Amino acid sequence: MNPEEFREHFTQLNNERFYARPIFNDELMGNLSELLGKDKYQKFDELIENDDIDGLEKFLTDNYNITNKTKNLPFYQKKLSLEFDLRLEYKIESDHPYYLGFYSDGVPLYLIIEILRIYFKNPKPSHWLTGIINPKIDNKKSSDDSLEINGHLMFAASPVLENDVTFHIQDTTEHVNEEDDLTNYFLKHKSEYLNKLNNTIIDEKIPASVNCIYCYNIGQGNCIKLNGSNNKKIYFDVGLTRYKAEKNQKEIKNAIDELEHHFPDIIILSHWDTDHILGLSLWDDNVYTKRWIIPDLHSLWFKKDNTIERKANRVSSYAFRIFLELIKPEHKNVHIINEELIQTRILNKEDNNFCGIEIWTGQRKSSNGITRANNFGLIMVVKSSAHRTILCGDCDYEIIPEQLKSSNYDYVIVSHHGSKMGKFPFSPNNNKHPIAIVSYGICNTHGHPNGSKMTEISKKGYQIITTVGRSKYVFPINCMAFKRSPSVEFFKPNSCDYPIKNLCSLEKDIH
């Protein structure tokens, strides 16, 4: 069944059997780092990193005693976000870059622990959780001993379909073939992957000059467009919210409508989290034929022997399908950045007008609750005679290269939606109105933007502006080169939609 045929089936899901696997992404791991405490989280993170399934099961059993009495304690009732890869009985073509997943923001810790215990019972990486999907209106407690989660089911292969459903998770795991297919596909095309693995990028088609940056409000995620010379549209991340409540906002509808008509020429991914890549569903498959600069995904999926799919996955199957699409031999203009490059400048473009673009790597290691997948992410610097801007992706400030931290910036795209992490290192340039932009959505329950981090950034002299409230924020980079359009709304000096003193009350409204 191809994705087009599957769409009709998706709209009629009821009492459908599913196979699911939790994704140990930055949202989950970041929340666990604050909840479990430093020592226990470091142990859990180490076990995840080493795919030590026996050790993970023992860790949960030894440290967390879930009973009918203890699960009602405040500690175990703390609600976290959980994302699942998903397979249904009806198999879809496995190498097509579609997203099929389940997401819930309201899973209490005790339930997550019980789900992980089931998942880690079987050490084989091809074994997934299993159960039944029902419409969310079916809120009656099932008669069996299944664990129940209400959440959001999404299928995205351009366009996006979504349903609110209830998962009934059984106390068992079963073998799923699809991921074996994905693994075999990669191994079959490993030579093409190695040919696209880059230490530095020399590409004449990538412009050095950027006139303007558009930071779109796409809800919970990042989507940034840079207008390059010769009208080249460069995207730094292409995120999109998973939440209906956010997609129904007028300003986000307007942003999505504009993005659908602004087809990319170049795509740069900071990292592979869903909220930074789901916006690919807004365009057709021609998007994969464009120029791409992407961090490697290889070690996030495989164990060191390169033959076994990782059980404790850091990224979704959707991310891996995109990766597989891009390593196909017909896609010639794909640069995959080698993860062995630590805090390295891999692109340096300059023109005669003191304009330029730099791309740097972080380092693939965990820190402050930020996963190694995010910390290896790409970091972008845009320079002009008038302004200097840094786009941090979701990289921990501690991981950002020292050469970048020692520079001053007029504009900062704040890392990881303003979450708690290492010390904010940047200082304003000589610009009278330095701006720090925080991208997040009203459905955020992940603890960002963090109030103390916003205070820290404000004290460094930056005016904080969030993406919440408008379709986009636009700011010129090279004032000499940019001609103002009456349809473009720029930042106004001394204006701020949500001043720092109001962020705490704003967060209360959101939660």
Whole-angstrom Cα distance, residue 353 to residue 356? 9
- Residues 172 and 212 reside in one and the same domain: no
Domain boundaries, position 337: 184-195+208-479+494-510
**Pick the residue with more confidence: 126 or 251?**
251
SS3 content of the chain, % helix, strand, coil (to 5): 30, 30, 40
Pairing of strands 388-391, 356-361: unpaired
At 491 the pLDDT is 36
Whether the bond into 449 is cis, omega within 30 of 0: yes
At 503 the pLDDT is 39
Instruction: Look at residue 200 and tell me if it is in a domain.
Output: no
Instruction: Look at residue 442 and tell me if it is in a domain.
Output: yes
Instruction: Look at residue 139 and tell me if it is in a domain.
Output: yes
Q: One-letter amino acid identity for 275?
A: D
Q: What is the mean pLDDT of residues 274-278?
A: 93
Whole-angstrom Cα distance, residue 373 to residue 35? 21
DSSP state of 95: T
Whether residue 151 has pLDDT greater than 60: yes
Whole-angstrom Cα distance, residue 189 to residue 103? 31
Q: Which residues of 239-270 are buried (b: 16+ CB within 10 A; e: fewer)?
A: bbbbbeebbebebbeebbeebeeeebbbbbbb
Give residues with Cβ within 8 angstroms of 324, minimum separation 6.
Answer: 95, 97, 182, 185, 186, 189
- Residues 158 and 189 reside in one and the same domain: no
Calculate the average pLDDT of the chain: 86
Q: One-letter amino acid identity for 477?
A: I
At 505 the pLDDT is 34
| Cβ-based burial of 284 (10 A; exposed 0-12, middle 13-18, buried ≥19) | exposed
The whole-model pTM stands at: 0.90
Q: Which two tokens stand for residue 84?
A: 């699942």
Q: What is the mean pLDDT of residues 174-193?
A: 84
| Cβ atoms of residues 21 and 119 within 8 Å | yes
- Residues 280 and 170 reside in one and the same domain: no
- Residues 499 and 418 reside in one and the same domain: yes
Instruction: Look at residue 201 and tell me if it is in a domain.
Output: no
In the structure, what pLDDT confidence band is assigned to residue 179 with cuts at 50, 70 and 90? low
Q: Which two tokens stand for residue 497?
A: 């939609």
- Residues 373 and 456 reside in one and the same domain: yes
In the structure, what pLDDT confidence band is assigned to residue 480 with cuts at 50, 70 and 90? very low
At 463 the pLDDT is 93
Instruction: Look at residue 409 and tell me if it is in a domain.
Output: yes
Whole-angstrom Cα distance, residue 157 to residue 159? 6
- Residues 440 and 328 reside in one and the same domain: yes
- Residues 171 and 188 reside in one and the same domain: no
For tokens 């106004």, the residue is 492
Q: Which helix (H) or strand (E) holds 19?
A: strand 16-22
At 424 the pLDDT is 96
| Cβ atoms of residues 267 and 239 within 8 Å | no
Give me the residues paired with residue 231 across strands.
none
Q: What is the mean pLDDT of residues 351-359?
A: 88
Whole-angstrom Cα distance, residue 68 to residue 221? 37
In the structure, what pLDDT confidence band is assigned to residue 487 with cuts at 50, 70 and 90? very low
User: 3-state class of 251 per DSSP?
Assistant: helix
| Cβ atoms of residues 148 and 129 within 8 Å | no
Instruction: Look at residue 489 and tell me if it is in a domain.
Output: no
- Residues 360 and 376 reside in one and the same domain: yes
- Residues 121 and 223 reside in one and the same domain: no
Whether residue 495 has pLDDT greater than 50: no
At 502 the pLDDT is 39
DSSP state of 302: B
Give me the residues paired with residue 161 across strands.
155
In the structure, what pLDDT confidence band is assigned to residue 484 with cuts at 50, 70 and 90? very low
Instruction: Look at residue 458 and tell me if it is in a domain.
Output: yes
| Cβ atoms of residues 109 and 75 within 8 Å | yes
At 303 the pLDDT is 78
| Residue-wise pLDDT tens digits, 78-116 | 999 899 999 888 778 777 899 999 999 889 999 999 999
Q: What is the mean pLDDT of residues 274-292?
A: 93
In the structure, what pLDDT confidence band is assigned to residue 34 with cuts at 50, 70 and 90? confident
Q: What is the mean pLDDT of residues 294-308?
A: 83
| Residue-wise pLDDT tens digits, 55-76 | 999 999 999 999 988 999 999 9
Determine phi and psi for 242, rounding to 5 degrees.
-100, 0
At 23 the pLDDT is 94
Whole-angstrom Cα distance, residue 19 to residue 179? 12
| Residue-wise pLDDT tens digits, 314-350 | 899 999 999 999 999 999 999 999 999 999 999 999 8
User: 3-state class of 437 per DSSP?
Assistant: strand
Instruction: Please state the domain count of the chain.
Output: 2
End-to-end CA distance of the chain: 40
Strands (E), 299-370: 334-337, 345-350, 356-361
| Cβ atoms of residues 114 and 131 within 8 Å | no
At 498 the pLDDT is 40
Q: What is the strand order of the sheet 210-216 is part of?
A: 197-198, 334-337, 291-295, 266-268, 233-238, 223-228, 210-216, 472-476
Assign residue 460 the CATH number of its domain: 3.60.15.10
- Residues 435 and 301 reside in one and the same domain: yes
At 422 the pLDDT is 93
Instruction: Look at residue 325 and tell me if it is in a domain.
Output: yes
**Pick the residue with more confidence: 302 or 77?**
77
| Residue-wise pLDDT tens digits, 43-60 | 999 999 888 999 999 999
Whether residue 189 has pLDDT greater than 50: yes
Q: What is the mean pLDDT of residues 351-372?
A: 89
Pairing of strands 378-383, 356-361: antiparallel
Determine phi and psi for 51, rounding to 5 degrees.
50, 40
Among 365, 298, 317, 425, residue whose Cα is nearest residue 97: 317
At 446 the pLDDT is 66
- Residues 238 and 127 reside in one and the same domain: no
- Residues 339 and 439 reside in one and the same domain: yes
Of 59-63, 184-188, 213-217, 505-509, the least confident: 505-509
Strands (E), 253-404: 266-268, 291-295, 334-337, 345-350, 356-361, 378-383, 388-391
